[in-house]
Amino acid sequence: MMRNSIDYPTTERQARLIAVADRLAVVFATRAGEQDRSGAFPYANFADIRTAGLHAAPVPAEYGGWGADLLETVMMAEHLARGDGSTALSFVMHLQTIGSAVENGDWPPDLLAELCRAAVARGALVNSLATEPALGSPSRGGLPQTTARPCGAGDGAPDTWMIDGCKSFASMFPVLDYAVIPAALEDGSGEVGRFLVAVDDRFQVDWAWDASGMRTTGSHTITLRGVETPHTTLIGRSGQARGGVGNAWFTLGISAVYLGVAAAAIDAAGEYACNRVPTALGRPIAELEGVQRRLGQAALLLHTARAQLYYTAEQWLHYPARRTELTAWLAAAKVTVTNHAVEAVDHCLRVAGGAGLSRTLPLERYHRDVRAGLSHPPSDDEAAVAFGRAVVQRFRDNTPTDAEKEQI
């Protein structure tokens, strides 16, 4: 039976993790406006994340981490985003990279242990840099133009690989310590390899991030030239990938961020409505039924979105045998949450009217930030077509053939 979203958190551990995120969010909120205006990367926010130990949240306890599960991570992401969506979005890339690697168990154990211990010992941050300018999102398939050439190869595996290429949307790049780099292997296999590479001056910013929303994620376009990495950093090849199962840590993590941005917008709109007293009215606009209806519609949208998001995370967490089936649930949750968040923020802007467009209120920033959720995979159209094809296929599967009809 699905819980009502107002019942969360349901455990003391969840409450403690949310409390850490909330304390950080309060501080982030004091910086978010100025950072958004300047586009400056929020270095202080990531210093605070490291001080709080939140970078170790998805790291298993055996390596000294918190061992946060998917649902706990989704909750933390939502609450961090209430303070600053850009920081939360880029930090989710670290959380999902480690969380999904631990969950899938498809990394070489020594390599995963190295990353986890670095995260705990020195606050190392990681992101998977898969998107490329020509390729776009790898979720739609295609071979990366980034290549890895074997070096010093004998009869067995090469000693090292030489990586060259370009990656876009490299979120959190200014503070990255490691990057997971997918590259086409130039060894005649036709496969794509993924490498865990230490970020250093071999990674150069080709185009600095400059966007209307999520302005301080540091999602630069970067080039890699002559990045030599040991064979031991090869995580795996495309031929070894597991098919049919989505990345819940990414899909639900980014969805939680946009839910948090919209939640912050409701708080901002509610505060404005309670304090705005037009002379012609003589009382706060919060007492007007029309304003209450707008706030109520926004709250209802988020109530529904949060229930679906948290329930999907719970299902994924507790029923691993069903994850192939639950991949469709991930798409449904992402599309529902991001679209509900966009609509909710729009209601909040209407509450504030023209004042909502002024930078004296954070609503215009929330409006710009929340729309970025529509660009993450799966897109609305992609998800709708997939669900439509499933309906058609189910009908076809249940429709008897001509031969079967003759036997009836």
Type and span of the H or E element at 353: none
Q: How many CB atoms lie within 10 A of CB 13?
A: 14
Distance CA 81, CA 100 (A): 21
DSSP 4-43: PGGG---SHHHHHHHHHHHHHHHHHHHHHHHHHHHT---H
Reduced to 3 states, what is the DSSP secondary structure of residue 186? coil
* pLDDT at residue number 143: 86
- Rounded distance between C-alpha atoms, residue 379 and residue 264, angstroms: 24
Query: Which residue is associated with the tokens 């036709």?
Result: 190
Q: φ, ψ for residue 198 (rounded to 5)?
A: -70, 130
> Could you tell me where the beta strands, DSSP code E, fall in 113-253?
126-128, 147-151, 160-170, 178-185, 192-198, 203-207, 220-230, 234-237
Q: What is the model's pTM?
A: 0.93
- The shares of helix, strand and coil residues in the chain, as percent rounded to the nearest 5, are 60, 15, 25
Spell out the per-residue pLDDT of the chain, length 408, in tens.
Answer: 334 445 689 999 999 999 999 999 999 999 999 999 999 999 999 999 999 999 999 999 999 999 999 999 999 999 999 999 999 999 999 999 999 999 999 999 999 999 999 999 999 999 999 999 988 667 666 789 999 999 986 667 889 999 999 999 999 999 999 999 999 999 988 899 999 999 999 999 999 999 999 999 999 999 999 999 999 999 999 854 344 458 999 999 999 999 999 999 999 999 999 999 999 999 999 999 999 999 999 999 999 999 999 999 999 999 999 999 999 999 999 999 999 999 999 999 999 999 999 999 999 999 999 999 999 999 999 999 989 988 888 877 776 656 655 665
Separation between Cα atoms, residue 174 and residue 219, nearest integer Å: 9
Measured on CA atoms in the order 301, 305, 307, 308, is the torsion positive or negative?
positive
d(CA 216, CA 29): 13
Which two structure tokens, joined as six digits, stand for 50?
Answer: 């490291």
pLDDT of the residue at 72: 98
Whole-number Å distance between alpha carbons of 236 and 107: 7
What is the rounded distance in angstroms from the CA atom of residue 220 to the CA atom of residue 125? 16
What pairs with residue 205 in β-bridges?
A: 222
Please state the separation of Cα 123 from the chain's center in Å.
20
